[in-house]
Structure 1
Amino acid sequence: EAFKGCHALSLPRALGRVATRLLCRALSRLPWVSFQDAIRMLNTLQTNASYLEQVKRERGDPQAQLEAMQGFLERSGLKVEDLDRLNIIHVTGTKGKGSACAFTECILRNYGLKTGFYSSPHLVQVRERIRINGQPISKDLFNKYFWLVYNRLEKTKDPAHASMPAYFRFLTIMAFHVFLQEKVDLAVVEVGIGGTYDCTNIIRAPVVCGVSSLGIDHTSILGDTMEKIAWQKGGIFKPGVPAFTVAQPERPLEVLRERAQERKCPLYLCPELDDFEEGCRALELGLAGAHQRCNAALALQLARTWLQRRGCQGLGELKEGPPSTELLGGPVPLAPAFQLTDAMIQGLRDTEWLGRTQVLSHGPVTWYLDGAHTTSSIQACVRWFRQAHRPLALSPCSGSEVRVLLFNATGDRDTAALLKLLVPCHFDYAVFCPNFTEVSVANNADQQNFNVTLENALTRCLENQRTWTRLLEEKVGQDPWLPSPLRVGGLLQPAPARGSLLLVAFCLCPSRDTVHGGMLLVSIPSLVRLTGGTPRVWGAAPGCDEVQCLVGGSLKLWQGSASGHN
């Protein structure tokens, strides 16, 4: 009672290790300890000293990462063989793996199965990462399993095992506990980064594996070529476990084939979705964009193979005989298409996956939200954006609307390559901002990220803005839409007329939330409030009454935009 009303996480700082353990166990049983308190404790695993020790110890020995993960799992009360009971579908890839997982989960849920789904990152709340029957687990369930796992790990600390697992590892372990204790029929598990050394790869006996489209991403971890990245992705293949992939560039596909042979895993190429539509009406997908068709095709193979291997009936006849499962040295065989069941068709139609080709309306503003952050996914995003807003495909926008780009890119991504693909969309304004939704996130622990400082985030935004300016200057004289000379002399130059450009630095400033000398915004909701009024505040020509805003470059940027919209 004496602690009631105190901030639950301000106490451990003043206590010793033993007292902290006792307090953590006590906190987990107190009704007034909130979901946000559990998230704040989880967030301490983003930067704690023990994690830095882990990184130092494991650097140069990637296999040690999996050994460490197994140790954490056992300290939490589970063994690796316990995971076999989850009937896992394990999916990796660079682009579309989350969408493929979402399609797969929805199809199997339509068969009446109780599904678990572990994905990353979250968009609004951490509990979105762990889903049962398509829904994020409740705050009460999150609290229950968070403290169960945290206390067991805290209790088992000793000189030989002094560390706690880092953020993603902890959530992975927690997801396994949730799925086992809530008795799901299957778990769809999305790889975090790569595959071979990803902490989800302690899974030893999945029912089926999948590899979505490959691309260049996370180069500092996975390597700087498609071949190196394919090698990492192929690390999830397991002996005798069927695996499926979509059409890939020739050499990366060859690497996947070699990895499958090496691991004695039968690997197949998915047929096009068109092959499933022969003789029936076109399939309706719950996720927009032509690029989702290959994700849906992968999901159909994963779902049917899972059902087949678990002895389910009524799967729909194959349109031709199954390919040989012999591990030959030839090309990757094409899996046959099959007759779709009503549950499969319904599952594809019902799939929802926030932050991917999503459209939201807010007064005169239409938000086009997509987490695209690789060159291929940005290309797909541009195609979807033009298709969703038909006039874009033909010409720059009319005098009645303003077209806005809201962009950020993080990590080691090649911003210039991404932005170059967006120039042809003819945006009137380009807004570059960090992935922050508030000046202070103290009251919203779900959005805290201790791995990125405000200074670094703003520096990256300025670099992105300069890159955009340079790309536009290079286009002057080539694109009749761009005026000459181009008015890009500063961050906050107003556009005197339609067709001119305003580049806005989307910054955090703790003391102001005002428009000054152009536009200086302190948080993503500032943009939402600004555009939620009349679009004329953008300096558009008289008569403008619509704003079309594309949000891309980062899933976390989608999170802020959606939060601000809500």
Structure 2
Amino acid sequence: MFGFVRLSYCQWRWIRGTLNMAFLHDYVGVRAFSKLSQADVDQQYEEAVQTLNCLQSNAATLQRVRQDRGMLLSQNVPSTERFLKRVGVSLDDIDKLCVIHIAGTKGKGSTCAFIESILREHGYRTGFYSSPHLVAVRERIRINGQPIPKEDFTKHFWDVYNNLVAEKESEDDMPAYFKFLTVLALKVFLREEVDVAVLEVGIGGEYDCTNIVRKPVVCGVTTLDLDHTSVLGKTIESIAWQKAGIMKPGVPIFTVDQQLRPAMSVLIERAKEKKCRLFVVPPLESYGWGTQPLQLGLAGSVQYGNASLALQLSQYWISSQLKESSTNIRSASTPSSSYEGLKVAAPFTLSDVELCGLKSAVWPGRSQ
């Protein structure tokens, strides 16, 4: 007699994913590399990376940005729109992406990694744009949790690069490194028809290239602190103002409990200014875990706040896709603090899918 083996949800997903990858390797992999040898693919990829590296801002450019901070930064979003148009992508096209936009000082990448893992476990096709990369630039643009393959990166890179070169109005009329990759990522996500695009802000928010997104589904702000002071300002208030720039009218925004009180005050004022609702996420321990232990794929108690933020953002995004009433966000009572009227989003009982998403999240090099 054969006995039945009970598998956890994570184990079942791993087995199914392994079988799917094996099939794709046999069927798609052979077809994809039938025309090019691996050596050719590697060479073309390296040529693309070398060309991309030529777009790095030099020391003189960075110094000019620091000196003329306001004027140059304010041109970031308009110039990103201009470059997108040159590669055939309009703002209306960008509006078709279902975006979760994340800003902050600490934990942006980790929060995005949790979100992407949770939504992928739910069965959604994910796109994830982050920075910086750890080993290879392809890590910045991920589809379904994986850096895009060398061959795909090379193909998309030259498509975008050649179109930009052909439309140049002057010798230096090309986007810098990060702006180029932002244009590239958005075009890749559109072509790949991802269900959700998780975008991590580069620097700041108000004038960041990723703020080209006009209609995100939901936004998040991680822990705020002093960072990039030569560009964003030397006070926590000025930095919080910049980070809160991703807020959009009518789009809810979630944040962690900010330890620096001036930062939270700025977020509250910016939310009023932008006419959007601001929610603080609850402690991770307050969620319903059932019989499962609290277990995260990313090490350190610092990840608890990032995981709670990811859960709230993921839940809201899924509700919006299921056409549920996203105007009624579940919230607890006003927190026992001096922030009058600020609501705490309600914790909820986690499903096996969400538990697996938190547990299987991977973000190499952080806290390792």
Q: Given the alignment of the two structures, is residue 171 of structure 1 paired with residue 188 of structure 2, yes or no?
A: no
Aligned pair 1:138/2:149, yes or no? yes
Rounded Cα–Cα distance in structure 2 between residues aligned with 1:50 and 1:39? 22
Match of 2:91 in 1: 80
For residue 338 of structure 1, report the CA deviation from its aligned partner.
Answer: 1.3
CA distance in 2, matches of 1:32, 1:289: 37
Q: Does 1:243 align with 2:253?
A: yes
RMSD after superposition: 2.7
Does residue 184 of structure 1 match 2:191? Answer: no
Alpha-carbon displacement from aligned partner over 1:331-388 (angstroms, at most 9, x marks no partner): 3211111121211111001000001122xxxxxxxxxxxxxxxxxxxxxxxxxxxxxx
Inter-partner Cα distance in structure 2 for 1:144 and 1:290: 41
How many Å separate the matches in 2 of 1:346 and 1:227?
A: 37
Q: Which amino acid aligns with 1:90?
A: H
Larger relative helix fraction:
2
Q: Which residue of 2 aligns with 1:36?
A: 46
Q: Distance in 2 between matches of 1:169 and 1:115?
A: 21
Change in CA separation of 1:37 and 1:98 when aligned onto 2, cut-off 3 Å: same
1: CA distance between counterparts of 2:83 and 2:113? Answer: 28
Distance in 2, matches of 1:250 and 1:32, equals 50
Distance 1:242 1:169 in 2: 26
Could you tell me how far 1:194 is from its partner in structure 2? 0.7
The equivalent of 2:222 in structure 1 is 212
| 2:45 and 2:153 in contact (8 A); partners too | yes
Name the CA shift for 1:260/1:240 in 2 (closer, same or farther; >3 Å).
same
Q: 1:323 to 1:207 in 2, by over 3 A?
A: farther
Aligned equivalents of 1:336 and 1:280: distance in 2? 20
Give the aligned residue type for 1:242.
P
Q: Indicate the residue corresponding to 1:121 in structure 2.
A: 132
Shift of 1:162: 5.1
Q: Does 1:112 align with 2:120?
A: no
Q: Partner of 1:231: helix, strand, or coil? A: helix
Shift of residue 47, structure 1, vs aligned partner: 3.9
Q: Distance in 2 between matches of 1:168 and 1:263?
A: 27
Quick one: distance in 2 between partners of 1:281 and 1:56? 49
Q: Distance in 2 between matches of 1:330 and 1:95?
A: 25
Structure 2 unaligned residues grouped into runs of 5+: 1-39
AA partner of residue 156 (structure 1): E
Q: CA deviation at 1:66?
A: 1.5
Q: Give the residue type in structure 1 aligned to 2:233.
A: G
Pair 1:300–1:155, CA change in 2 (3 A): same
Distance 1:52 1:99, change over 3 A: closer
Instruction: Please name the residue that 1:261 is paired with.
Output: 272
Residue 203 of structure 2 aligns to a residue whose secondary structure is: coil
Determine whether 1:332 maps to 2:345.
Answer: no
Q: Which has the higher contact order (CA 8 A, sep 6+)?
A: 2
Q: TM-score, normalised by structure 1?
A: 0.53
Residue 321 to residue 82, structure 1, CA distance change in 2 (3 Å): same
The answer as to 2:320 corresponding to 1:309 is yes
Pick aligned residue for 1:200 from 207, 210, 228? 210
Does the CA contact (< 8 Å) of 1:209 and 1:243 recur in 2? yes
Residue aligning to 1:531: none
2:55–2:176 Cα contact (<8 Å) kept: yes
Shift of residue 312 of structure 1?
6.4
TM-score normalised over the length of structure 2: 0.81
Q: Distance in 2 between matches of 1:51 and 1:178?
A: 28
d(CA) in 1 for partners of 2:265, 2:345: 17
The DSSP-based 3-state class of the residue aligned with 2:344 is: coil
The amino acid across from 2:47 in the alignment is D
Listed one character per residue, the Cα deviations across residues 418-475 of structure 1 (whole Å, up to 9, x for unaligned) are: xxxxxxxxxxxxxxxxxxxxxxxxxxxxxxxxxxxxxxxxxxxxxxxxxxxxxxxxxx
Amino acid at match of 2:347: A
Corresponding residue for residue 477 of structure 1: none
The verdict on how the C-alpha distance between 1:247 and 1:271 changes in structure 2, with shifts beyond 3 A counting, is same
* Equivalent of residue 163 in structure 2, options 124, 144, 152: 152
Q: Distance in 2 between matches of 1:341 and 1:68?
A: 43
Amino acid at match of 2:246: I
Give yes or no for contact 1:277–1:283 (8 Å, CA) kept in 2: no
Q: Tell me which amino acid in the other structure corresponds to 1:115.
A: T
Amino acid at match of 1:96: G
Deviation at 1:282, TM superposition (A): 2.9
Report % sequence identity. Answer: 52
SS at match of 2:175: coil
Q: CA deviation at 1:53?
A: 12
Contact 1:51 1:163 in 2 (8 A): no
1:282 corresponds in structure 2 to 293
**Counterpart Cα distance in 1 of 2:142 and 2:205:** 21
Q: Specify the alignment match of 1:272 in structure 2.
A: 283
Are 1:222 and 2:232 matched, yes or no? yes
Q: Match for residue 359 of structure 2?
A: 349
Find the aligned partners of 1:127 and 1:101 in 2 and give their Cα distance: 16
The SS at the match of 1:284 is coil
* Partner Cα distance (1:217, 1:50) in 2: 21
Q: Once the 2 structures are TM-superposed, how far is the Cα of residue 54 of structure 1 from its aligned partner?
A: 9.1
In the TM superposition, what whole-angstrom CA distance separates every residue of 1:477-522 from its partner, at most 9, and x where no partner exists?
A: xxxxxxxxxxxxxxxxxxxxxxxxxxxxxxxxxxxxxxxxxxxxxx
Tell which structure's C-alpha radius of gyration is larger.
Answer: 1
Corresponding residue SS for 1:45: coil
Hey, which bits of structure 1, 4+ residues long, moved more than 6 A?
48-54
Number of matched pairs? 321
Deviations 1:227-263 (A, max 9, x none): 1111111000001111100010222101001001100
C-alpha contact (below 8 Å) 2:66/2:231 kept by paired residues = no
SS at match of 2:219: strand
Structure-1 separation of matches of 2:271 and 2:60: 36
Offset of 1:280 from its aligned partner? 4.7
